[in-house]
Structure 1
Amino acid sequence: MPRLSVNLNKIATLRNSRGGEVPSVLEAVAVCVAAGAPGITVHPREDERHIRPDDVYAVAEALEAVRDRVEYNIEGNPRPQLIEMVERVRPDQCTLVPVRPGELTSEAGWPADTPKEQLREIIARFQEAGVRVSVFVDPDPEPIDWARELGADRVELYTEPYARAFEQGGRALAVSLERFGDACRHAHALGLGINAGHDLDLQNLRTFLGLPHVEEVSIGHALISRALFVGLGEVVSEYLRITSR
């Protein structure tokens, strides 16, 4: 059964837009856990536009009592500050994500020609600390092969192209499902676990989870947006009804 990891970035974005601590990231963690969410994701960016370093540590403390059933995933580009956070917190998983200047959100996976040596060393350090490492990639053989050569445990497939194809339907959707299905099978054959994220929502998730070997989906923007209208606990339950099938 695929694991749902709730990305809390948008809670922090709303909080930061006004200052103070409302809405509370920690209260959001508590609501998600109470609703049965088996994973929490945070992405502390260098500009601190949403999740801040103090959030990373506070969420880790909040999850300490439930770490036997709720995984903690820290996303980010492997800058020194992120490395320090991961080695201090020792989350269940760290997802390494590339950053492009001026981006509002992640726009693509790591290019397959990215030099390997530094990333390989960082991944080995995290794994030595007991942290599972996932690498954010496009759903194509070359970057998946590259991730395997780095020594990563998993890949997270960038699913925005699938979400756009789902909106179009028909041939576009069929082609996209074939592409992502091939990517899942290729990664699995290499011994990599498969995560997925970006623009997945209640409309397109069920179809995506028909693909083989998907172990985790990270969902933030769509989930938090719907929570404004139906409540955070309710929307977590809605997603869990899909992932549990």
Structure 2
Amino acid sequence: MTSTSRLSVNVNAVAMLRNRRDLPWPSVTNLASIALNAGAKGITVHPRPDERHIRRTDVHELANVIFNQFQGKELCLEGYPDNNFLDLVETVKPSQVLFVPDDPSQTTSDHGWDFSTHMDLLKDVISVAKSWGVRTSLFINPDESQPELAAQAGSDRIEIFTGPYGACPVASPASLLELEKLVKTAEAARDCNLTVNAGHDLTVDNLPALIQRAPYIGEVSIGHGFTADALIFGFAESVKRYRKALGEIG
């Protein structure tokens, strides 16, 4: 087992809770700091145009905390590559940008890119992000044909949408079928020399089977399940629970 973490904690839900009231708590930066101190690799946020959870000010505050107080930790910005989002990426220069094909009205990212429609756009925005020194990742469906297209677009990484797998009961026949799709997609990405990330509805119960089959996964981004656990166990203990599920600590 390794002491290096692959866990990036998505704190969108923390911001959503805070935004219910005109109050500064719960603090996004404070809880992100707890997760990082407990061993998380980094923090992921998805600043949507309506700022219904993460606000642009949160992004700047998180960047300041992470880059000044947590050397070696990462900030990942997730979003649709419109001009406003790209301006934020250029200003903040996060460790990684995950481009997702979301409509602003979506509640969460629930599908990967349609490369036949968006290849030119993706090539352009990836080239621009790389010129800023930002690592790039593309959100893709669990389909072994997709990593090659992501590589053609010039991306450094892919993040496989694991929602269909997470929606199945653990170890059920349906989950095993979805797991096989994830593994084949991950293998195809590795064959294209792309680093493999994964995210959506991953939990301490369904992570072990995925990591056992695809131990080369470089990063998992977890928000909803992590926050649900944190309501019971707290942020620091939830980091430990997820790192155990990843096989990183005993």
Q: TM-score when scaled to structure 2?
A: 0.93
Amino acid at match of 1:72: L
Cα distance, 1:131 vs structure 2: 0.7
Cα distance, 1:241 vs structure 2: 1.9
Residue 92 to residue 168, structure 1, CA distance change in 2 (3 Å) = closer
Residue 67 to residue 233, structure 1, CA distance change in 2 (3 Å) = closer
For residues 8 and 218 of structure 2, the distance between their equivalents in structure 1, rounded to whole angstroms, comes to: 11
Cα distance, 1:180 vs structure 2: 1.1
In structure 2, the residue matched to 1:8 is 11
Cα distance, 1:191 vs structure 2: 0.9
- Counterpart of 1:10 in 2: which secondary structure? helix
Once the two structures are aligned, what percentage of the paired residues are identical?
A: 38
Q: Which runs of structure 2 are paired with 1:1-245 in the superposition (5 Å)?
A: 3-100=6-103, 102-165=105-168, 167=169, 169-212=171-214, 213-243=216-246, 244=248
> Is the 1:6–1:218 Cα contact (8 Å) retained in structure 2?
yes
Q: Unaligned 5+ residue runs, structure 2?
A: none
Count of matched residue positions in the alignment of Structure 1 and Structure 2: 244
Amino acid at match of 1:181: V
Structure 1's consecutive aligned runs of 4 or more residues displaced over 4 angstroms after TM superposition are none
Cα distance, 1:118 vs structure 2: 2.2
For residues 46 and 237 of structure 1, the distance between their equivalents in structure 2, rounded to whole angstroms, comes to: 33
Q: Residues 94-145 of structure 1: CA distance to partner in whole angstroms, max 9, x if unpaired?
A: 0001113632111111123222222211111111111110000001133322
Cα distance, 1:231 vs structure 2: 1.0
Amino acid at match of 2:213: L
Cα distance, 1:69 vs structure 2: 2.2
For residues 168 and 27 of structure 1, the distance between their equivalents in structure 2, rounded to whole angstroms, comes to: 33
For residues 73 and 192 of structure 1, the distance between their equivalents in structure 2, rounded to whole angstroms, comes to: 17
For residues 205 and 245 of structure 2, the distance between their equivalents in structure 1, rounded to whole angstroms, comes to: 10
- Counterpart of 2:137 in 1: which secondary structure? strand
> Is the 2:49–2:104 Cα contact (8 Å) retained in structure 1?
no
For residues 197 and 117 of structure 1, the distance between their equivalents in structure 2, rounded to whole angstroms, comes to: 25
> Is the 2:146–2:185 Cα contact (8 Å) retained in structure 1?
no
Q: Residues 153-201 of structure 1: CA distance to partner in whole angstroms, max 9, x if unpaired?
A: 0000000111123x16343222222211111110100111100000001
For residues 171 and 7 of structure 2, the distance between their equivalents in structure 1, rounded to whole angstroms, comes to: 25
- Counterpart of 1:184 in 2: which secondary structure? helix
- Counterpart of 1:113 in 2: which secondary structure? helix
CA RMSD of aligned residues (A): 1.5
- Counterpart of 2:81 in 1: which secondary structure? coil
